[in-house]
Amino acid sequence: MQRAVPAAPVATPESQSRPKMKQQPAAEKAKLPTTLVAALLCAFSVTQALAAIASKGGQREYPYKVVASTLLSECFKIVCSAFFLIRELSTLNAIDRKRALQCTAASVATAAVPGVAYQVLNNLNFVTLYYVDAPTFQILGNLKIVATGLAGQVLLSRKLSRGKWLALTLLTIGAAVSQLTSTSDHLFEGAFFGYASAFVCVFLSATMGVFTEAFMKGNKASIHFQNVQLYVFGILANLCALIYRNEIGPASSTSLFHGFNGWACVVVVANGSCGLAVSFLLRYADSIAKTYATALSIPATSLASYICFGSPIGAANVLGSGVMVISLVYYYAGAQLFEGESC
């Protein structure tokens, strides 16, 4: 007795027209929990802020060259990345080693973009502060939270649900409110050119964050090798800035490390550690996670300043911090309440 063979499904016009689902590639597994790295980024940001205050020694201005501090942070990052890269390569076979060092002319050119763009951004920040006051500048800077979502949608086709857009809006409002102080009575009284420059800073910062994320996820090269490429151009950009400002070379009246103190060294290490943490989050999480970690460092810094320096914490800071925490919980745990079509 022959076993009946099941008949093949009959192809219908509907089934023939239905597109085949592409299997999504498995996400690259991180060696550290992204939540831990985000918490470390927040902690490093707080440390950098407190050390920067302490490095002034009670003075209004920094006693050292700020660009030199940034240059040393880039050197710190590239040394750490080179060390981790060498250690990783020693454990790989020839095929995996070639993959880890994957490099093309396009990837090198892409790595050069953030280094140049962030130097332009730093100079634009000074231009903005010339036309608007510092509290206005800080509050307008929070718009980069929503701008990061928009940049991700344009550059990475990353659609966010209405609930997640609402969470990002809450984060923006909370961050702005937390930065209101008793000296914020004369906000938004600057010149139009200052506001235009501020908006350029906002969208350039957000775009570069997402652009760097695209670079980090664009190939399977080692994250440490990608970091080395980024930091090489970061070093070159900072050197060009120092030369342009006559802070290095024959035209400089002081040495590169003039005015550096112990707290300035802490700033260098903390700033470099922030950069390494940001690269990790952009590779294994996304720019939104980096944005949350950075934004939440604002209330954390206020709390640490209160503990270390006795700086007062106002009602606006407490209210804004509460809104930011609600936004964090809502984005990662409660946004599905409003899940629907992406915006």
List, in order, residues 6 or more apart from 307 with CB less than 8 Å away. Answer: none
Rounded CA-CA distance 101/212 in Å is: 18
Question: Which DSSP category does 12 fall into?
Answer: -
Rounded CA-CA distance 36/31 in Å is: 11
Split at pLDDT 50, 70, 90, the class of 337 is low
164-184: b (≥16 Cβ within 10 Å) or e: bbbbbebbbbbbbbbbbeeeb
Q: Does residue 188 register a pLDDT over 90?
A: no
Q: Dihedral of CA 221/222/227/232: which sign?
A: negative
Split at pLDDT 50, 70, 90, the class of 339 is low
List, in order, residues 6 or more apart from 48 with CB less than 8 Å away. Answer: 267, 270, 271, 274
Dump pLDDT digits (tens) for 163-176. 899 999 999 999 88
If you search the block for the tokens 């899940």, which residue do you land on? 339
Tell me, what's the pLDDT at 14?
A: 43
Taking each helix axis from N to C end, the angle separating 105-131 and 192-217, rounded to the nearest 10 degrees, works out to 160
Length of the chain: 343
As given in the structure block, the two tokens for residue 60 are: 């209004």
Which residue in 319, 123, 76 sits closest to 240, CA to CA? 123
Rounded CA-CA distance 299/302 in Å is: 5
Rounded CA-CA distance 111/114 in Å is: 6
CA 311 to chain centre: 27
Helix (H, G, I), strand (E, B) or coil at 169: helix
Split at pLDDT 50, 70, 90, the class of 23 is very low
* Pair 151, 282: CB distance under 8 Å: no
Q: Does residue 303 register a pLDDT over 60?
A: yes
Instruction: Find the range with the poorest average confidence among 130-144, 148-162, 220-234.
Output: 130-144
Mean per-residue pLDDT of the chain: 83
Tell me, what's the pLDDT at 315?
A: 86
* Pair 19, 272: CB distance under 8 Å: no
Tell me how many degrees the CA angle 173-70-105 measures, rounded to the nearest 5. 95
Dump pLDDT digits (tens) for 64-91. 998 899 999 999 999 999 999 999 999 9
> Could you tell me the residue ranges of all domains in the chain?
34-335
